[in-house]
Amino acid sequence: MSNSVVSACANSINASPVNFDQYRDVTLLFIDDVIGVSTTHYGKLDEESLQIKSVLNQLNRLDCVTINSQPAEYDTFNDVFYRSRPYVYFYYPSRKINQLLDLFLYDNVTTLVTVYTPSDNRITMYNDELYTHLADKNGYLALHQDFIDGQWIENSNTSFNPNHMAGSFSELGLTNNTLLDYGKENLVLVNVIGMDFTNNTFTRLAHAAHALFFS
């Protein structure tokens, strides 16, 4: 089968979902490398994401439909040692988001969670002191730190700003407008950032989603 035919098939599959279950299933096809692109990622999973691929698979099967993520990582770039804060964006059914957060945030003070609710264009932040302590004057929270002169320095080349979540939610329209309209009534967009620089963030989220999914 030619590359053009494979690409056309992938595009057709990506454009087909009109509800949450279908969107989750197509996202899983991408996570499992059955199709090589998604509507929000125009190529295979980045190499850095391979270390969390199994938990991304779990999260999607548990109704956390992921569209962007970054694992905790310690490495060197341009001779500068850095570390990255783990994060994940995902769509989730609005009818049970409060239950998920009750489970996930119980006794959890090292994770920043932000929820965008499109039905009333509302942004809700949990453990928000983690954000207000580190965000710059323009509202950006750095997602990397560089180790320079014996101390960790915030690096905002990759960053999070809650004001961008409405625009991120609208990316459902890249699939089709029917899915976007469905999402506005039935879904929320969630951003989770682990401030402890470990991938326990993903595991803990999967445990909470699992407990709720099978309750």
Asked whether the predicted pLDDT for residue 4 surpasses 70, the reply is no
In tens, the pLDDT along 114-172 reads: 999 999 999 999 999 999 999 999 999 999 999 999 999 999 989 999 999 999 999 99
**Integer Cα distance of 68 and 164 in angstroms:** 14
**Integer Cα distance of 22 and 150 in angstroms:** 49
Report CA-CA distances (Å) from 18 to 45, 72, 183: 24, 33, 9
Amino acid found at 44: K
In tens, the pLDDT along 184-212 reads: 999 999 999 999 999 999 999 999 999 99
Q: For the chain, which residues make up each domain, given as ranges?
A: 52-213
Asked whether the predicted pLDDT for residue 63 surpasses 70, the reply is yes
Amino acid found at 195: M
Asked whether the predicted pLDDT for residue 28 surpasses 90, the reply is yes
pLDDT value at position 1? Answer: 56
pLDDT value at position 45? Answer: 84
Biggest alpha carbon–alpha carbon distance for the chain: 54
38-44's contacts with Cβ under 8 Å and 24+ in sequence apart are 38/14, 38/67, 39/14, 39/15, 39/171, 39/174, 39/175, 40/67, 40/68, 40/171, 40/174, 41/67, 41/68
The residue among 3, 63, 52, 2 whose CA lies nearest residue 28 is 63
Neighbours of 88 (CB within 10 A): 23
